[in-house]
Structure formats: C-alpha cells, structure tokens
A and B are shown apart, each in its own frame.
Chain A
Amino acid sequence: MFNPNARWDRKLPRDDNPDEKISVEASFSNGAVAPRRFLYAGTVHQVKEITFRWKERVGAEQFYYFNVTDGTDVYKIYFGDKSLVWRISRVE
C-alpha cells in the first residue's frame, strides 16, 4: 500500500529563511477560505483565479495553500489556522 508518510521534504532540516508575511483580503464562506487580493512588494494584486488549492497539516496547525494568478504571474500563498498569518512562499 502507498505510504503517504514517506515525506522526505518534511524530514529534512528546514529552510532558514521563513516565507514572507503578506496582507490578504479573503472571504471565509461555508468553511472554505478564498483569497481575493493581497499586498506584496508594495503592489496590490487582484486574484483573478485560484488555479489550485491544497492543505497540509504541520503539527497542530493546518495550512491552506493556494496557487493564484493576478492575470500576469502565478503566486503560491498560504494561510495557517493557528497563527492566522498569510505568507507568500513562491513567485513564479
């Protein structure tokens, strides 16, 4: 049987540079969260489309990840349900 616990990326020493905090305007509806726009690098980016979404539990905290596009670039942003902080981890 497939073992989802074989997660090398979670067992390796973590990156020393945490992802940058960002300000996000989001909707929370029917138990689902959806970012609408966010402030990053001094610019407000309007979320035109959430292209992919997924979740990951790290310890006691659930993180909600989103790939979003503002029509030009694709960003990976996420929200932690314990810290209540949004971060941006990758800009494509």
Chain B
Amino acid sequence: MHIDMDAFFASIEQASDPRLRGKPVIVGGKANKQRTVVCAASYEAKRMGIDSAMSVAEAFRICPQAEFVVADTAKYIFTSHAIFDMLKPYSPRVEQASVDEFWLDMTGTERFLGPAAEVARAIKERIRSEFGVTASVGISSSRLFAKIASKLKKPDGLVVLDKGDIAETLRDMPVGKITGIGRSTRERLNGFGIFVYSDMARFGMDFYRDKFGKLGLWLYGVSRGEDGLFIPSWQGEEAPPKSVGHSYTLPYNAHNPELIEAWLRLLCEMVASRLRSLGLEGRCLHVFLRQPDMGFVAKQKMFGVPTSDGAEIFLRAMAVISCMPRGLKGFRLRALGVCASVLTPACGSRLLEADIKRRELIKSVDEINGRFGEWTVYPARVSGIRPT
C-alpha cells in the first residue's frame, strides 16, 4: 500500500488557517517572495497551472489572487512523523519514503485487519479527522504499481490495482509517468516506438536486455505488471545507511565563489553532523554541482582516513572540486550536493595531539548545539547565507 499525501504542505496550511480553504495557496521560502520558488501549491492553485519548483513571481503572474504562505518545515515534519506513527499499527512493515509518502506492506494482514481497501479507507478517514488533510492511496501487488495507483485518482483517491487489471488500467499511461523511468530512458523508449504502457508489452525480454542492459530486465518486468528489481526492498528502521548526503537547490543562481563555498561548507557540516549522530565516518566523498540549463558535474574521491569532521569534509570537497574541469571558476551554481560513503564505525583512536584536540572541540560543539539547539555554534564561513 502506498500513501501519498495530497499537496501536503499547502493542505496543512489550509488546515491551519480556515481562511485559506478553497483558495489557491502557494507555499514558498522565507526570502522576498518574488525571488523564491513554489515549495507546494494547493489543488486550487494547481488547477490554475501553478506547480512546485516554479518561481513564485511566475506563479503570481498566472494567479495574482493566490495566497502566499511561508513554509513552516517544523510543522510539516512533525505532522509527517505523527502520521507515520499513526500508521504503525496497520502493518508490521511501515516505511516513510519522504515527508509526504508512506509504504505499508499489507501481506498477511487481512486475517487480522480485513481487506486492504477497508484498511485504506480507515487510514484515510483518520488522516482527515486527526490532521485535517487528505491522502491518496494505491494498493497493488508490488510497490511500483501501488505507487502508480496512488497517483491515478488524486486528490483523496483510493485505487486498488490488481495484477490482472494493470495492463488495461495503465494502457494509455505515457511511459514517462512510470516511476523509475526518467527522461533519458523515456526518450530511448520513445525512439523504439514505445510511448505508452501498452507499447511496452510488444517487446520481449531479449529486446529489453539487449537495448537497456540491467535496466532492461526491470523494464521487461514492468511491461508484464511485475516489479522487484528497481525499487529497493523493505528496509528496517535500523538498517545502517550506506551513505550520508545532503543536497540543495538554490532559489537563485550563485556565481560568487565565496557564496558557493559557504553553501558547500553548510552541506559538509550537515553531513558531518549526521555522521557523528550515527557514530560513523566516511572515506569516500562525492560532490555534485548543477548549473542552470547545463546539466551537472559530479566527482568523487577516496581518501585514506575516514572522517566525520565538517571542516575536514569541506577541505575534501574542495579537493574533489579541484579535480573538476574548471573548479568553481566561472561557475553559475543552481544546486549542489555532498555525499559521504564507504562508511565505517567512528574510530576513537587518534595518535596526534592535534587530532585529539580537534575531536574534543567537535565534541564540545556538539554538546553545546545539543543543549541550546542546532547551529548555536556554526562555521563562520556560512554566516553570509541567509534563509531563502
């Protein structure tokens, strides 16, 4: 079962403020609203052509009467967690895929809870009554088709997609709408005359394997209403991470190297902070930078000693960037990301006195931030960044 909250942030704002109900609502960042982007739009706004990631200025051109609300992340995350907790009694395996999406494995639950569709109705009603928002639910034999089903009747939908009905129900669905098929795969499929789901069934396994390799085996399965290779299997809440990363899309194009470095330092500290909270250190560092309309560059580098020190990760990130063709020179940055991998348990032993002092310093900073709030002490380099 896949639960997809409907226009989650905007719906929470409409639940919070009765005056916003039934109106086109735009949720955006804290900066000057002409410079920020749409984080979420209510269905009333979506019907007028406004959608996430559009600039707020453009959204107001389309709909001058739209109501603008500054995003309140704490409110959304609290509500998301509360919904996640509410779902736990309905399945032994509940997973939070994102702030507004949840998976429930309903295998074997029917004898205790009744048919999955009945459970879905009960869940939808509880979400509505306890949080004042709606959710769309998809039920199918696999995660992929449950996710597709949840999007078929938004908002407030409930779709049960039995395996035998997949071919007929999805017959005219463009292949680009299928989760896991991105732009480049869609373009390649289109090149072979595969435009909608029903076209996929015209080709056999050999075709998919020859043309798409490993991905082809998954595509073949999808064409037969099966899934299992692409979307990861159920993860326990305690599953150790294989990597720790953060990325961010700026609401503007940054070209000042100092500003770009400030954002990078911020990301590195976030990665470091999470590594430390997990008791891990990373040896490999992956950095990606995206330019507007020009794709992205990405590099990774393996280092000899694992670390969870934000300053060290930043230095390593700069070293990775120096391996990129132009470094940061002349770069117009739209998005960036930092990811640490090859993770190992944090190693307490350090031989050099400077390392020991450094570790004590980081421990003290973590203690201060743990007591007085994150970012009570933060790297000076990021102080030029203002909320956007």
Interface residue ranges, A against B (CB under 8 Å): 1-15, 49, 51-52, 54-56, 58-61, 65, 67, 69, 74, 76, 90, 92
Q: Considering the chains assembled together, what is the distance between the CA atoms of A67 and B78 in angstroms?
A: 14
Given contacts A59-B369, A60-B372, contact A52 B15 (CB under 8 A): yes
Given contacts A1-B95, A59-B376, contact A11 B266 (CB under 8 A): yes
* A59 in complex: contacting residue of B96, B371, B383, CB < 8 Å: B371
Q: How far is the CB of A12 from chain B (nearest CB, A)?
A: 5
Chain A residue nearest to B30 in the complex (CB): A9
Q: List 8 A-B contacts (CB under 8 A).
A: A2-B80, A4-B81, A12-B266, A12-B382, A12-B385, A51-B18, A54-B78, A59-B371
Name the interface size band of chain B.
35 or more
Question: How many CB-defined contacts (below 8 Å) exist between A and B?
Answer: 107
Given contacts A1-B95, A1-B239, A65-B74, contact A9 B387 (CB under 8 A): yes
Q: In the complex the two chains form, is A12's CB within 8 Å of B375's CB?
A: yes
Q: In the complex the two chains form, is A13's CB within 8 Å of B382's CB?
A: yes
Q: Interface segment, B56-64, B114-122, B269-277, B316-324?
A: B269-277
Q: In the complex the two chains form, is A2's CB within 8 Å of B387's CB?
A: no
Q: Considering the chains assembled together, what is the distance between the CA atoms of A39 and B17 in angstroms?
A: 20
* B370 in complex: contacting residue of A8, A12, A55, A60, CB < 8 Å: A60
B32 at the interface (CB under 8 A from A): no
Q: In the complex the two chains form, is A13's CB within 8 Å of B385's CB?
A: yes
Contact with A along B1-42 (1 / 0, CB 8 A): 000000000001001111100000000001000000000000
Q: Considering the chains assembled together, what is the distance between the CA atoms of A59 and B239 in angstroms?
A: 26
Q: Considering the chains assembled together, what is the distance between the CA atoms of A74 and B17 in angstroms?
A: 6
* A12 in complex: contacting residue of B19, B97, B274, B386, CB < 8 Å: B386
Q: In the complex the two chains form, is A2's CB within 8 Å of B16's CB?
A: no
CB-contacts of B277-294 with A (<8 A): 277
Q: In the complex the two chains form, is A51's CB within 8 Å of B17's CB?
A: yes
Q: Which residues of A contact B378 (CB under 8 A)?
A: 11, 13
Q: Considering the chains assembled together, what is the distance between the CA atoms of A76 and B17 in angstroms?
A: 10
Q: Considering the chains assembled together, what is the distance between the CA atoms of A15 and B31 in angstroms?
A: 12
Chain B residue nearest to A9 in the complex (CB): B73
Given contacts A52-B16, A67-B17, contact A6 B270 (CB under 8 A): yes
Q: In the complex the two chains form, is A74's CB within 8 Å of B387's CB?
A: no
Q: Which residues of A contact B248 (CB under 8 A)?
A: 8
Q: Considering the chains assembled together, what is the distance between the CA atoms of A58 and B370 in angstroms?
A: 8
Q: In the complex the two chains form, is A52's CB within 8 Å of B97's CB?
A: no
Q: Considering the chains assembled together, what is the distance between the CA atoms of A65 and B78 in angstroms?
A: 11
Q: Which residues of B contact A5 (CB under 8 A)?
A: 270, 273-274, 277
Given contacts A1-B239, A2-B96, A4-B81, contact A59 B382 (CB under 8 A): no
